[in-house]
Structure 1
Amino acid sequence: MSDIKRIETGPRMSQAVVHGGLVYLAGQVGAPGASVTDQTKDVLANIDRLLASVGSDKTKILQATIWLASMDDFAEMNAVWDGWVPQGHTPARATGEAKLATPDYKVEIICIAAV
């Protein structure tokens, strides 16, 4: 049986969990109250940092789930995403609208990647 490695573990959750050659990232959010563009940049930087901490990177993302507080922000978020995601290595992706933990959050992204 594979070992389970937890990254940045807190009392409620871990920011990442590695198991069976995969890394599962917790939902990443940006600075509360910042613009959709800035929150998306923060989220993607967090994803880069967490993936690097386990020996992975954005070319190995298998699936991304993106939650937006409003689908009106879809184009603004995609403008940042499209500049970040490596062409030829785009993951399976879904985007939806949801109430996030606080109204100050506009974007949350969850990823699963190969290690």
Structure 2
Amino acid sequence: MSDLYDEAGSGDVDALADVLEVFRHAYGGLWVGGKVEVTHSVVRLSANALNRAIQDGTMDIELPLALVRKVSVEGGFVTKIVRLDTDVGSVKFRCFGAKDVASLIERMTHSTASILAR
């Protein structure tokens, strides 16, 4: 999927919109357990083995940092929610240490923006 977002460093917004729409319809409100990975270029959400065993379809998202316009933290009972807004929608995930994760992603988006501006 990463090749899809190489165009001018800004990404294929239509492809991202399609992925977000599929998730919105298929999983509206359903939290899929798994792993979050933050790299210098993407935030990757991957479903765990249990979810893969009991559910069908695509359960992974790879969101290029260049497409993230805003990072915020929303409330939660035990864990907080990290919200990543793009021009075509938002991706949310719940995790422990949400404030630190959101801060890391925000720093990474600023780093990515600086690199792209050169």
TM-score normalised to structure 2 length: 0.26
Indicate the structure with greater strand content: 1
TM-score normalised to structure 1 length: 0.26
Indicate the structure with greater helix content: 2
Q: Which fold has the larger relative contact order, with Cα–Cα distance below 8 Å and residues 6 or more apart in sequence?
A: 1
